[in-house]
Structure 1
Amino acid sequence: MSPAKIKLVTFFLLLGFSVILFRAAYLQLIGRLDYVERIAEKFPKTVVVRIPVYRGSIKDRAGRDLALSYPTISIYAFPKVVRNKEDLARRLSAILNEKEDVLISKLNEDKKFVWLARNVDRSYKNYVREVIKDTGNSPAVGIEEGFTRVYPHGHLASNLMGFVGGDGRGLEGLEYALDSVLYSKPIKRIFVSASKGYTLALDTDDSPLNLKTSDVYTTLDLGIQGIAEDVRDQIVKDWNPRRVAILVMDVRTGDILALATYPYYDPNHYRDYPPQSRRNYAVTDLFEPGSVMKPFFIGTALDKGYIPYNYTLYAEMGKMEIFGRIVRDVHPYGTLTLDQVLIKSSNIGTIKVARFLSKKDVQELFRKLYFYDEFHVLPGEVRPRIPDLQYPANILYASIGQGIALNLLHLCAAFGVLATNQLVKPRILLTNDPPQILTSGVFSERTLRWLQKNLMRVVEEGTAKLARSQFFTIAGKTGTSQKFDFAIRRYSREKVVAYFVGYFPATNPLFVAGIMVDEPKGPNPYGGTAAAPYFKELVERVAFLKGLKPDKTGQ
């Protein structure tokens, strides 16, 4: 044989040997589990099943469980070899909350393996074992231990928590966002119906079990969350709105202490609810904020030196045309001082102040308030919608909260600026790290003090008098924004969004909060009526829960 042929033969022999070696290595190191599973599936009395393992808990800031994995048992069967089916179904139905005929139907299925029940209370384990033994079904029916996800407080913070699917993976909310921390892959087992009177459950993977799950502590305060949900339920009862969102934050750290929404759902039974009931409206949806924007534009005009603090203007007796549209005030006003513009929430007065601001001024303000980006804190969070400030009309309408759209999280974070003069990034995970300050010194000290004093007057003598507390000082702003009706191509007079956003105690701010009520139904559905009174209740209950001393003189 010529040297060339010897080399060619040697090459093919080495190539064949390499292929065999590679295949053996793959089966041993990588594909062994898949190979074993494929073989097992071909036998009539074997099946490969994925068993969920422990998933980390979600807790509030005090360590109280909001979502946890509860130990359970599941009951499986090999229908073709089950004996005494009627007796077995009758005795199991006593604990499974399942009708006998449903169990018998499962036992008569033309399948080699079925689950008779999933996630049964583990306390029934011994009873089920006795039933299996008494009916002579040890080779055909078995028990597998596992876990199920439980939300012990039902609908509490449900739209924030989210839920997990049957495979143990987070599908929405924090369950989804934190899935990489909370989840470990399920164990794969081969179930074999043996002929000696027992059932085998074999691991397909003999490597050590490596659970990577961790419990997660959130910034939520279960007590404040309960108060927020009580307030929400009262709003729903009184106003029958389409949607509600309530948010409470620590103004110093950005910790989200409570987040309540309507509609809501029970994540233990999430399949029973439509998708819209599971949305977290505090972050997933944008709404025009209305008059809540006014203090930011007035403060900017003061800070820039465009107007003096004793500025006065004529409010056109409540009616004025702005770029082809009529803008109205709720009441007809003549001459107003600048503080009256804010306290009485004059649209015309605010627009006249906003005429001094340039595109650059407003862009700078919005950057300081973080309106050009999401905070990237909560799942589903959307970025504010900012109009094209190239057009002067958009600046003027934005000053009264039209043409600009924000979620409640951005509004509350922005109002934190009015309390502390710095924008603190919101956070939902509890940490010992210092708060992240995104911007500071948004307003001069003089302007900040002017805004704070007059936001307190909004509550004490202005549009938010129904938010006034006997015990605690509150600073804030009402807002009522008409919703744009695309069918008639103009703003609706019937459909509005009502707001109150503020901070408390105003003399030493600790909390910032916001209430948004979408499409309240009833007489005078304004921010001062559909949101402000409930803010007062929220403030007083949170303050007393936290043991705050009343800061109003003489209390």
Structure 2
Amino acid sequence: MMKPKSAPVNLITWRFALVCVVLVLVFVTLMARAAYLQVIEPDKARAENAKRTVRVETLTVQRGMIFDRNGKELAVSVPVVSVYADPLALDKSIAKKVLRAARKNGEDHKALALDEATLNERKIQWYAQDLRWRELADVLQIDNDKVDSRLRGNTSRRFVYLKRQVTPAVANYIRQLKLPGIHLLDESKRFYPSGEVSAHVLGFTNIDGVGIEGIEKLFENALTGAEGRRTIRKDAQGREVQVLSEEQRVEPENIELSIDLRIQAIAYKALKSAVLSYKATSGSAMVVDVTTGEVLAMVNSPSFNPNDMRDAAPYKRRNRAITDLFEPGSTLKPLAILAGLDYGAIDADDTVNTYPGWMRLGGSLVKDTRNHGEMSLREILKVSSNMGVAKISQMLPKEYMVGLYQKVGFGQDTGTLMVGESSGLFYPNRRWSDFEIATLSYGYAVSVSTAQIARLYATFGAGGISRPLTILKQEKPQEGQRVFEEEHVKAVVAMMESVFEKGGTAANVKVDGYRAAGKTGTSEKAVAGGYGDEYVGYFAGVAPVSDPRLAVVVMVNEPGDDIYYGGQTSGPAFAEIMSSALRILNVAPDKGRVARVSEDKNDA
């Protein structure tokens, strides 16, 4: 009997043992690797997993809107599209196409991929042969060379703008071109429905939506808000499976201005007409509600269109109502008379002897255009007598006179907080001569803005209560400070009605339906060494006299030709603005007269 062979059995046993050892080694290796990744260095694994599954979404916010006091949109954000390129992605796409074409033609595409110089040459040729790039340049209205430079100048870049804020039609056309490396980005653009009418108040934003001037800059933080962030995890099919974190966005605020767009438009039209009619360099006008201090209109000419900044030269963008300073001339004469009444140096029914129509103070001459003799206070304002107010000023202590001008807001901001507002040029602490006090009484030795004059006349209209001006709509009147006795203010306001009477400096100006109290002003512009031959024409006033509601100031700078008196250049605009604004506010007429301008000439 033969013994069975053991060799095959040993071979099978050895093979089985080898397989078991290999499996154990593989298992141990996997366990070791897993332990290494999970225990020793877990962050790398988490990072790799996050790259594939975690996404961060930005919760964008639109810039806040700006409204007028009646809810009319003054500034809104509209959706637009910006076009940008990824030069690196574009270069890779072209390289793939070149290599694919080489492979189809039987070339050694692997060798071509290693030959950088030849590959670059082929890519340039491929790019030049694709006419879609020329179409892209044409639809964006950009020179071909500029497009080529941005796309091919530096192929290592990942982001470069081709054009910001294109129209939806342009965006759709580019989308249909299906160009590699070209992307569309949803953005927003600021739009101003009122255009140049409210440009100086609102200001504008740059292309990135950051406020540059006006309300846009003043309330930048409130209008901007803050974007939110949402971190989520997605599966292989792109479905959201988990919200990892979420930061709520901060919604921007909407700003409601005190501006009434209806009055703003009327004021701008009247001012622009005056500036053009009298060939003036510039002008500004303001309308203030005397009961609250709210600015209902603030306009300037020349203006600009904030929706198209190509023609917005710096001199057009300046908000002259708060920045430009001039000596206000005779518009301050009511203040000088009010100072005399307030101090007790004169009474409302007193007269002042201006004979012989001139006087010398410290070697300098104060004079009227002619000798008016004995004059009542009403007549002093009616004919705008320098001698009358100068004599009153000499009855008052200098410290009181100067302090009163400071008290009504000269040398201070008006309270609007507008960007670039000037506080004027007034130095109360210096030594004042008698002549300087006299010139102060008729509007020289002090330089103020249109806004500061508007605040003064709003004080007249409010019966002697001085309030800071505000550009924001108020729920209730601002707290004010009484600076004059009401009876004295009412007396002076009644005197200012005489300006519109026959023989007055504004006899050619008639305010439709309302009794108005106003004052003309014509001041020579200061130059190096004295005064030149250029003038500034003012008209300021309040209405209706029976119960003042509005203060209006119109300034026309450097009118051309021989017509430069404030009654002629600024008076008609004042009448149009005042009467129209009162009707818009449903203020009952207190006098049945028609607004018109006669052919009579005036001297103040």
The equivalent residue for 1:293 is: 332
Q: Is the 8 A contact 2:331 2:520 kept in 1?
A: yes
**Partners of 2:260 and 2:581 in 1: CA distance:** 11
Q: CA deviation at 1:92?
A: 3.7
Paired with 1:554 and 1:257, the residues of 2 have a C-alpha distance of 24
Mean Cα displacement is larger for which, 154-163 or 371-380? 371-380
- Count the aligned residue pairs: 483
Equivalent residue number for residue 20 of structure 2: none
**Alpha-carbon distance change, 309 to 288 in structure 1, aligned in 2, over 3 angstroms:** same
Q: CA deviation at 1:293?
A: 0.8
Greater radius of gyration (CA): 2
Q: 1:416 aligns with which of 448, 453, 458?
A: 458
Tell me whether 1:358 sits opposite 2:397 in the alignment. yes
Per-residue displacement from partner, 1:284-309 (whole Å, max 9, x unpaired)? Answer: 12211111111111122123221233
Is the CA contact (8 Å cut-off) linking 1:246 and 1:516 kept in structure 2?
yes
Change (3 A) 1:307 1:547: closer
Residue aligned with 2:196, SS: coil
Residue 156 of structure 1: aligned partner:
197
SS in 2 for 1:427: coil
Partner of 2:477: 435
- 1:53–1:146 CA contact under 8 A, matched in 2: no
The question of 1:383 aligning with 2:383 is answered: no
Cα offset, 1:415, TM superposition: 0.8
Deviation at 1:157, TM superposition (A): 1.5
What pairs with 1:37-52 in structure 2 (closer than 5 Å)? none
Tell me the residue number matched to 1:8. none
1:527 matched residue in structure 2: 566
Letter in 2 for 1:484: A
Instruction: Give the match for residue 108 of structure 1.
Output: 152
CA shift at 1:207, angstroms? 5.2
Determine whether 1:120 maps to 2:166. Answer: yes
CA, structure 1 residues 405+441, in 2 after alignment: closer, same or farther (shift >3 Å)? Answer: closer
Q: Is the Cα contact below 8 Å between 1:387 and 1:394 reproduced in 2?
A: no
Structure 1 residue 168 corresponds to structure 2 residue 204: no
* Conserved 8 A contact 1:78-1:114: yes
SS at match of 1:349: helix
Aligned partners of 1:292 and 1:281: how far apart in 2?
A: 18
Q: Does 1:426 align with 2:469?
A: yes
TM-score normalised by the chain length of structure 1: 0.80
- Map 1:305-454 to 2 at 5 A: 305-377=344-416, 378-388=418-428, 390-391=431-432, 392-421=434-463, 422-432=465-475, 434-440=476-482, 442-445=484-487, 447-454=488-495
Shift of 1:94: 6.2
SS of the counterpart of 1:268? coil
1:77 aligns with: 85
The correspondence of residues 124-273 of structure 1 with structure 2, limited to 5 A, is 125-132=171-178, 135=179, 137=180, 140-184=181-225, 208=247, 210-270=249-309, 272-273=311-312
1:536 and 2:564 matched: no
TM-score (normalizing by structure 2): 0.74
Give the Cα separation in 1 of the matches to 2:200 and 2:363: 42
Q: Distance in 2 between matches of 1:89 and 1:549?
A: 66
Cα separation, 1, equivalents of 2:321 and 2:536? 13
Aligned to 1:146, what secondary structure does the other structure show?
A: strand
Unpaired runs of 5+ residues, structure 2, are 1-42, 44-50, 52-57, 95-126, 231-243, 595-604
2:529 counterpart of 1:480: no
Deviation of the 1:188 alpha carbon: 11
2:474 & 2:206 partners in 1: Cα distance? 28
Q: Deviations over 1:452-475 (max 9, x none)?
A: 211111123311122222422111
Letter in 2 for 1:344: V
SS in 2 for 1:467: coil
What does residue 553 of structure 2 align with? 514
CA distance in 2, matches of 1:544, 1:375: 27
Are positions 1:545 and 2:553 aligned together?
Answer: no
Counterpart of 2:252 in 1: which secondary structure? coil
C-alpha distance in 1 between matches for 2:322 and 2:79: 34
The two structures, once aligned, show a CA RMSD in angstroms of 2.8
Give CA deviations for 1:174-211 in whole Å, capped at 9, x if unaligned.
1111111012467999xxxxxxxxxxxxxxx9753523
In structure 2, C-alpha distance between the alignment counterparts of 1:225 and 1:76, rounded to whole Å: 40
Per the TM alignment, residue 351 of structure 1 is displaced from its structure 2 partner at its CA by: 0.3
> Which deviates more from structure 2 when the two are superposed, residues 343-352 or residues 296-305?
296-305
Q: 1:477 to 1:75 in 2, by over 3 A?
A: same
- Hey, what's the Cα distance between the residues in 1 that align with 2:409 and 2:554? 20
Matched, 1:490 2:530: yes
Amino acid aligned to 2:472: L
CA distance in structure 1 between the partners assigned to 2:138 and 2:303 by the alignment? 33
Of 127, 134, 140, the residue aligned with 1:96 is: 140
The CA deviation string for residues 311-353 of structure 1, in whole angstroms up to 9 with x for no partner, is: 3333244433333222332344223222211111100111011
Residues 470, 260 of structure 1: CA spacing in aligned structure 2 closer, same or farther, 3 A cutoff? closer
Relative distance call for 1:96 and 1:237 in structure 2 (3 A) is: same
Conserved in 1, the CA contact under 8 Å of 2:381 and 2:498?
no
Shifted more, 215-224 versus 414-423: the winner is 414-423
Aligned twin of 1:12:
none
8 Å CA contact 1:424, 1:435 repeated in 2: no
Structure 1 residue matching 2:546: 3-state secondary structure: coil
Instruction: Give the Å deviation of 1:124.
Output: 5.1
**Which residue of 343, 349, 362 maps to 1:304?**
343
Kept in 1, the 8 Å contact 2:514–2:592? The answer is no
Identity %: 30
Is 1:54 matched with 2:62?
yes
Q: State the distance in 2 between where 1:491 and 1:321 align.
A: 19
List per-residue Cα deviations over 1:371-417 (Å, max 9, x = no partner). Answer: 24213322211213224464233222110111011111111111122
Residue 354 of structure 1 deviates from its aligned partner by 0.8
Most deviating of 74-83 and 257-266: 74-83
Please state whether the residue corresponding to 1:437 is helix, strand or coil: coil
Shift of 1:162: 1.3
Counterpart-to-counterpart distance in 2, 1:144 and 1:466: 59
Q: Is the 8 A contact 1:154 1:267 kept in 2?
A: yes
* Bigger mean CA deviation after superposition, 250-259 or 389-398: 389-398
CA distance in 2, matches of 1:158, 1:478: 28
How big is each residue's C-alpha offset from its partner over 1:43-78, in whole Å with a ceiling of 9 and x where there is no partner?
xxxxxxx99852111111122221221111112112
- Going from structure 1 to structure 2, the CA distance change for 1:308 and 1:418 (only over 3 Å counts) comes to same
Paired letter, 1:419: G
Contact 2:79 2:186 in 1 (8 A): yes
The answer to whether the 8 A contact 1:290-1:401 is kept is yes
For residues 60 and 249 of structure 1, the distance between their equivalents in structure 2, rounded to whole angstroms, comes to 14
1:226 deviation in Å? 0.6
